[in-house]
Structure 1
Amino acid sequence: MAKIQVQYYYLGLRKKSDPDDIFYLTDNYNFKEIKFPFGKRYWAADPFIVENGDDVYIFYEYFDEFRGKGSIACSKVVDNVASKPVIIIDEAFHLSFPMIFENKNCLYMIPESEASNSVILYKCISFPYKWEKDKVILNNVKACDSVILQNDLGQYLLITSLMDEKSTNERKNFCYVHNVMYELDEELNIIPHSKRELSEGDYGIRNAGKVIKTKNNLIRIAQNCTEGMYGKGLVFWALDSYNPYKEHELANIDYEKASNHITHIDHNGIIQGIHTYNCSAHYEIIDFMIFNELPVYYKLYYFLGSRISKIITKIERFIRS
């Protein structure tokens, strides 16, 4: 039977030896694939990890091939096995990259919502599964993969990757971005006229994980998109100064190198991309991409599923209105 190649993302977990242990500091590391209780209709990417006592929760893009879009889901992980996904945020538009941070003893999330032309803040009402929309932080922007960091005064800063809306053979809009920084007030609103350009536009700077703090550095993780290749690898940058904003490269991890350190189930393919990394006190988590070979009838399966899903969505919107 004829085969087609379908892109799927998977998640890998690694236990850290100490809080400052980051995998690129050693050649002896291994991420082990997290097993999920779902089939080929779904896949998981853009993982963020939160430890709550002895419990480990992951928040991630939960992509539905039927609907052709992602929502934000949460699972508890025990011995590298994830619980059934609980969708915690679902919108009419695609969501991914659920960046989580804490403010005034509350958890907040800024998922990637570029398809809505806005940057949206959500607040956790009951951890881990109940979240609600708090406010729209930015409107009329093509922004992806926003992250939050704090300056020396404890003030929150928002770094977001603005997408180039032009696409050519040499430059794909989802790879070519430029980062901008905004200052936030105590209520997490954008301070007027605080926008600062951090770059005129380049590959390899699209945010790829939460900013992490070690004993020696404040580290921003970026995705390497050189040559227009989405998921070519990860770049770790150390912050030198806030104003002017400067950073220097600590490590550049190519997906081919990382693939030798990721243990995964046989998915009829080899790893051909990584694009998100996050960590907690005791764990690191990464995603990786494989083109699975599936029967050609999956094309029809996904086509019919997406059409049925769109019809159901329109009916639901009509009922709500």
Structure 2
Amino acid sequence: MIIEFRCDREQPRLWMCREKLRVNDQDIPVQIAWTTTPEPRPAGLDMLFELERIVLRKGKAGGADGLKALPERPRAGDPDVVIDFTSAERDPDCAARLYLRPRFNGSTGEHAALAAVLAGDLPVIEIVNERDGSVMDRGHPSAEIAAGLSGGLETVIARTLSMLPPILSGAPRLVPQLAAPAISSAPRNPAPFVVRGVATSIAKEIYRLCCYAPHWHIGWRYAENADVWRTGDLSGPAWNVLGDPGNHFYADPVPVKWQGRTFVFFEDLDHRVGKGIVSAIEFDGEGPVGTVMPVLEEPWHLSYPFLIEDNGELWMIPESTAHRDVPLYKCIRFPDKWERHSTLLSGLELADVTITQHNGLHYMFGAWRDGTGGYSDTLAIYYADRLLGPWQPHAANPILMDRATARPAGNFVTIDGKLWRPVQDCSNGYGAALGLAEVLELSPTTYKQAVRRLLRPGPLWSGRKLHTLNRCGQLEVIDGSRVQPKTTAFLASLRSSDRSSQWNWHSAPAKPIARRLH
């Protein structure tokens, strides 16, 4: 197979130097055909991108950086596949069997992608077969790493490139229905956008000097029959907040009852070192008792401690994307001794792994990333006959790219015979809201879901975020974020040190300082 990128010679970018695409576990060479298009080019764009590189990326190179000279690469021959990144007319003499063109909110070329970013959002990406006009795949990327205009363009292109290998592999695509926002075609001046972005970046740096950011905290309550899955919102008994020492945040709560005791496991991140471990605290039917205890630590970051019972044993799968694997830990002594048992999947980034059983199979859901682009927009599914595997990829992996419905947000639940999953809605930023999605189809070759409810922070749950939902019996847990000044955290630690000479930074008083948010 010969793949050819068709690119605009007036707008050469660093990403165009990509020499290979990995398709069906093979590296396929990529050649470039340079084309001149009448596409408008905003004045001073390269200078603005250079300003962003210096200020926003601290001098690091990015895929949207301009090239001073076109890369020279010998042609291998007539292409079998053309991917046209320009807005130029298709060459009628091109004999390639497949002619693909990315569209950004329905329009083609770099200008369309930049117009979407300038309008305040990343575009819906479509890969269109120019031969018959069919949409081969569609996705909406998340913007966690999209710093500024150049970062937005880089993220869009990175996700466009990640959509191509599954199409070229011949695997079935489950094309989601995603509505593209309406954007004015009138050209926008990029300078004010870039200046605002730089100013915002400086303001964030000042904020980080004064506050720990982000600072997540855990909410809990005994919901009885008024839990989120029944009400579809956050109403019911008031939410309490699990106290923390201020210089640690707590997130991703997962409750479990084992050997007659109930514990909530969660990510415990020390702001001072920027690395998370798994900690836990016991609940007694009225609230947390005792102190927070560390239960699992590795040299790399851990979070989202998914728990599952299988064959009379308790197992944990903490998120381990920094180590590029999906590990399985066995509980040796509950709750504080865990032993790494095996590796379920290796050589990949799969965040917030969540497993359910359906029609006799185990299904593993996770937010997949191929090393570029956002962390929360792409869903991958794997399946196995048993928890220990072997795990096989879903026929349509990656299943979908949609920042509003891809990333897991907690355990599956079954209600009236229907399977549901909470999902992170990152449309307005990472962890900004939480959706309740009904699973309509699930097999090794199919998947379909529909979000029925959307939960956002508000009067019932103060804070700026909401991205995890779990339950064990009557105990229901969520999480959120708040502003945490560093001076407040320091004073809190001093007060705690005065109260107890046995204090350690993983300990947090439970009932006495649990606060209600109204």
Answer whether TM exceeds 0.5 for this pair.
yes
Please give the residue correspondences for 1:1-321 in structure 2 after superposition, counting only pairs within 5 Å.
4-6=210-212, 7-18=214-225, 22=229, 24-25=231-232, 28-36=235-243, 38-52=244-258, 55-78=261-284, 79-153=286-360, 155-163=361-369, 165-167=371-373, 173-175=374-376, 177-186=377-386, 188-192=388-392, 196-197=396-397, 199-204=399-404, 205-227=406-428, 229-243=429-443, 244-255=446-457, 259-262=458-461, 271-295=463-487
Once structures 1 and 2 are overlaid, which stretch shifts more, 187-196 or 89-98? 187-196
Deviations 1:6-26 (A, max 9, x none): 231111112222397626435
**Identity, % of aligned pairs?**
23
Counterpart secondary structure, 1:206 = coil
> Greater strand percent: which structure?
1
Q: Which has the higher contact order (CA 8 A, sep 6+)?
A: 1
Q: Secondary structure at the match of 1:29?
A: coil
Which whole-Å CA distance do the structure 1 matches of 2:474 and 2:398 have between them? 32
Residues 134, 58 of structure 1: alpha-carbon distance in 2 compared, 3 angstrom cutoff: same
CA displacement 1:110-133 (0-9 Å, x = unmatched)? 111111111111111222222111
**Cα displacement string for residues 151-191 of structure 1 (whole angstroms, at most 9, x for unaligned residues):** 112x2111111025334xxxxx123x311111123351234
Gapped regions of structure 2 (runs ≥ 5): 1-206, 491-518
CA separation of 1:195 and 1:87: change in aligned 2, threshold 3 A:
farther
1: CA distance, partners of 2:394 / 2:450? 23
TM-score (ref. length: structure 1): 0.78
1:22-73 deviation digits (Å, cap 9, x = unpaired): 264356324422433x522222110001134764310000111222110011
CA distance in 2, matches of 1:86, 1:297: 19
C-alpha RMSD of matched pairs (Å): 2.7
Counterpart CA distance in 1 for 2:467 and 2:218 is 11
- Conservation of the 8 A alpha-carbon contact between 1:9 and 1:287: yes
Query: Which amino acid is the alignment partner of residue 249 of structure 1?
Result: V
Contact 1:35/1:80, CA 8 A, preserved across alignment: no
Structure 2 partner of 1:266: none
Q: Which moved more, 1:207-216 or 1:106-115?
A: 207-216
Q: Name the SS of the counterpart of 1:115 in structure 2.
A: helix
Deviations 1:68-125 (A, max 9, x none): 1100111102433353222111001100000111111111111111111111111112
2: CA distance, partners of 1:84 / 1:183: 38
**Which has the higher Rg, Structure 1 or Structure 2?**
2
- Unaligned runs of at least 5 residues, structure 1: 168-172, 263-269, 299-321
State the aligned residue count.
279
Q: Distance in 2 between matches of 1:20 and 1:261?
A: 13
Residues in 1 aligned to 2:330 and 2:234: alpha-carbon distance in whole angstroms: 39
CA contact (8 A) 1:24 1:251 kept: no
